[in-house]
């Protein structure tokens, strides 16, 4: 695929119109079972991610990617894999979802394509409480509040490298919520290369309540619900039976009340102030983060020309690559190439 010439004077709505012209042909049999397709591929890295000693052993990054560590805004140490182009190039931060890590397939596919095919410098981040970052700190997850600071810290670390001309970010689920808030609180120049968010949430409290509440047996969310509960017990050594209990304890470690944490983890409260070109992609059939979150974000940011919302008829929860990989990669490439500074 060739490079796209950036049109810096074009609006987010204009770029979104171009993206909508890319043919989307989802494999219908995969659309019915996105959880299965994603789970089969990422089962091992997800399980290994529960232990800092084994995180990153599955699907290691090739050279020239290398381990880097840096501090988040509150001093929390973070781990990532980074690769720099040998010449001036735009940069891209990749941010995983809940119970994920930078070594999962959906992160690595984008990271390797961005570096080897599209000419981006790349940093793939392990958020606090996940992946190799767990070996560096006991800092607990905050549902997107402090994770937004983690995203900005990764962007700054990449920006400080020689030859990085601009920095964008792409996140999935928890990483999408974190990246959308990061876009809203970024200082000028921190995230000037665009932000792309797949299936993020609008309201932290509501998102947590949904994944913490057992659905009916015939619900499409029932199997993912069991998966989340299993991973909660596995990751946290059977210490917590609910996400709400975990977040209450997490809030105490940051010396705030849980209501404050929920507010800080609700992107809809911050997106009206975003000045970074930001696109929120969602699907009608997402059972994990229901599509109402996309509509809430759209309502909150409807007067902000820097924010666009794109709701697709299918895609499950971040399962677009499994359904139509060519469309998925082309959307990513065009979005970030457009906003990149050469």
Q: What is the pLDDT of residue 39?
A: 57
Supply the angle between the helices 105-112 and 325-339 in degrees, to the nearest 10. 50
Give the burial class of 258: count Cβ atoms within 10 A of its Cβ; 0-12 exposed, 13-18 middle, 19 or more buried. middle
Q: Check: CB of residue 126 under 8 Å from CB of residue 101.
A: yes
* 3-state DSSP assignment of residue 266: coil
Q: Which helix (H) or strand (E) holds 300?
A: helix 292-300
Ordered per-residue pLDDT tens for the chain, 342 residues: 344 344 454 799 999 999 999 999 998 655 455 455 555 677 777 777 777 778 777 789 999 999 999 999 999 999 999 999 999 999 999 999 999 999 999 999 999 999 999 999 999 999 999 999 999 999 999 999 999 999 999 999 999 999 999 999 999 999 999 999 999 999 998 999 999 999 999 999 999 999 999 999 999 999 999 989 988 888 877 788 899 999 999 999 999 999 999 999 999 999 999 999 999 999 999 999 999 999 999 999 999 999 999 999 999 999 999 999 999 999 999 999 999 986
77-83 vs 89-95, strand pairing mode: unpaired
Cα 336 from Cα 90, distance rounded (Å): 9
The DSSP result for 192-257, as a single string, is: -S-EEEES--S-HHHHHHHHHSPPPTTSTTHHHHHHHHHHHHHHTTT--S-HHHHHHHHHHHTTS-
278-283 vs 307-312, strand pairing mode: parallel
Of 16, 41, 38, 55, which is closest to residue 307 (Cα–Cα)? 16
Domains annotated on the chain, with CATH: 12-339 (3.40.50.1820)
Q: What is the pLDDT of residue 7?
A: 47
At 71, give phi and psi (nearest 5°). -105, 140
DSSP code of residue 141: P
């Amino acid at each position: 695929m060739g490079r796209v010439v950036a049109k810096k004077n074009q609006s987010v709505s204009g770029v979104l119109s171009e993206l909508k012209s890319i043919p989307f042909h989802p494999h219908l049999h995969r659309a019915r079972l996105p959880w299965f397709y994603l789970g089969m591929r990422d089962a091992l890295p997800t399980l290994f991610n529960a232990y800092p000693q084994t995180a990153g052993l599955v699907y290691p990054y090739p050279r020239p990617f290398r381990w880097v560590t840096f501090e988040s805004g509150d001093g929390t140490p973070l781990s990532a894999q980074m690769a720099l182009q040998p010449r001036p190039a735009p940069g891209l931060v990749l941010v995983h979802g809940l119970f994920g890590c930078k070594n999962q397939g959906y992160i690595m596919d984008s990271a390797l394509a961005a570096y080897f095919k599209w000419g981006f410098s790349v940093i793939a981040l392990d958020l606090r409480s996940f992946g190799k970052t767990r070996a560096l700190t006991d800092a607990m997850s905050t549902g997107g509040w402090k994770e937004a600071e983690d995203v900005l810290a990764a962007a700054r670390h990449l920006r400080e490298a020689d030859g990085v001309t601009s920095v964008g970010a792409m996140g999935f689920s928890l990483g999408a919520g974190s990246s959308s808030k990061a876009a809203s609180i970024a200082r000028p120049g921190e995230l000037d290369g665009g932000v792309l968010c797949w299936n993020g949430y609008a309201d932290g409290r509501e998102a947590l309540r949904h994944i913490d509440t057992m659905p009916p047996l015939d619900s499409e969310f029932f199997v993912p619900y069991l998966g989340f509960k299993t991973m909660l017990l596995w990751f946290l050594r059977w210490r917590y039976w609910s996400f709400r209990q975990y977040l209450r304890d997490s809030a105490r470690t940051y010396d705030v009340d849980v209501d404050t944490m929920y507010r800080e983890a609700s992107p809809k409260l911050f997106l009206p102030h975003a000045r970074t070109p930001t696109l929120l992609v969602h699907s009608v059939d997402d059972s994990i983060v229901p599509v109402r979150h996309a509509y809430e974000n759209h309502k909150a940011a409807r007067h902000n020309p820097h924010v666009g919302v794109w709701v697709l008829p299918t895609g499950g929860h971040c399962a677009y690559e499994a359904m139509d990989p060519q469309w998925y990669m082309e959307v990513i490439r065009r979005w970030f190439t457009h906003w990149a500074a050469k």
